[in-house]
């Protein structure tokens, strides 16, 4: 246990000293990875309660309930390392630029598209005048929401983005969501969106949203 505590401390000190403006989520993941390497599945047994509490306080809860209105396209690689590279950043920007016009053509634009998550686990997804009822549940450890929309179920990655959140789908599932929301399932825009989605396998595509103030 002493070895584990020393290694965890080294990760904390090294991360903090290397960058004063550190990302708490990244810091937590680094500490967790080291802990798993040393203690394996028994990490909860060997990590001191004080450190677990500290990490629990450091990582803010994602407050999902409420209405979230679409602002812009969001893109995330399934591999976090890919986005940190120069090529990854260019690829993400290119994906955003290509995706946005297609979403606009089916009506997904600021002020016209939103998700509402209620405390009781029910949800609605609204595009223009069309509203589909569903359900939601959140897995905090995986940062994923199981989202029901119009009788279909999606595994959605949901992360904080400053004061906003990103709601992200695997590329093929984003197309499925758009088809569910759109009344024209065979139009040329959806066909083109489907072709685009195939080219971005390995990426999560979706929406940057802001919370609607009540």
Q: Which is it for strands 144-149 and 122-127: parallel, antiparallel or unpaired?
A: unpaired
More confident residue, 141 or 42: 141
Report whether CATH 2.40.128 matches the domain 66-211.
yes
SS (H, E, C) the chain: CHHHHHHHHHHHHHHHHHCCCCCHHHHHHHHHHHHHHHHHHHHHHHCCHHHHHHHHHHCCCCCCCEEEEEEEEEEEECCHHHHHCHHHHHHHHHHHHHHHHHHHHCCCCCCCEEEEECCCCEEEEEECCEEEEEEEEEECCCCEEEEEECCEEEEEEEEEECCEEEEEEEHHHHHHHHHHHCCCCCCHHHHHHHHHHHCCCCEEEEEEEEECCC
Burial of 214 (0-12, 13-18, 19+ CB in 10 A): exposed
pTM for the whole thing?
0.66
Structure tokens at 169: 């789908």
Distance CA 51, CA 111 (A): 43
Mean pLDDT of the chain: 75
Provide CATH 2.40.128 ranges for the chain.
66-211
CA angle 103, 124, 76 (to 5 degrees): 45
Quick: pLDDT tens for 38-81. Answer: 545 554 554 555 554 454 434 445 789 999 999 999 988 765 55
pLDDT tens figures, 169-193: 998 899 899 988 886 656 788 888 8
């Amino acid at each position: 246990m002493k070895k584990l505590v020393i290694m965890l401390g080294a990760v904390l000190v090294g991360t903090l000293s290397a960058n004063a403006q550190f990302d708490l989520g990244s810091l937590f993941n680094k500490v967790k990875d080291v802990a798993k390497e040393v203690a394996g599945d028994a990490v909860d047994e060997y990590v001191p309660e004080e450190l677990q509490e500290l990490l629990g306080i450091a990582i803010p809860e994602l407050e999902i309930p409420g209405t979230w209105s679409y602002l812009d396209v969001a893109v995330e690689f399934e591999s976090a390392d890919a986005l940190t590279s120069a090529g990854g950043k260019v690829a993400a920007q290119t994906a955003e630029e290509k995706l946005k016009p297609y979403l606009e053509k089916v009506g997904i634009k600021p002020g016209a598209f939103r998700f509402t998550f209620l405390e009781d686990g029910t949800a609605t997804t609204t595009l223009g005048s069309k509203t589909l009822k569903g359900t939601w549940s959140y897995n905090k450890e995986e940062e994923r929401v199981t989202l029901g929309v119009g009788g279909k179920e999606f595994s959605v990655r949901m992360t904080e983005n400053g004061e906003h959140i990103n709601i992200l789908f695997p590329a093929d599932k984003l197309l499925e969501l758009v088809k569910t929301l759109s009344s024209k399932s065979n139009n040329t825009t959806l066909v083109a969106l489907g072709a685009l989605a195939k080219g971005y396998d390995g990426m999560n595509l979706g929406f940057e949203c802001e919370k609607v103030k009540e």
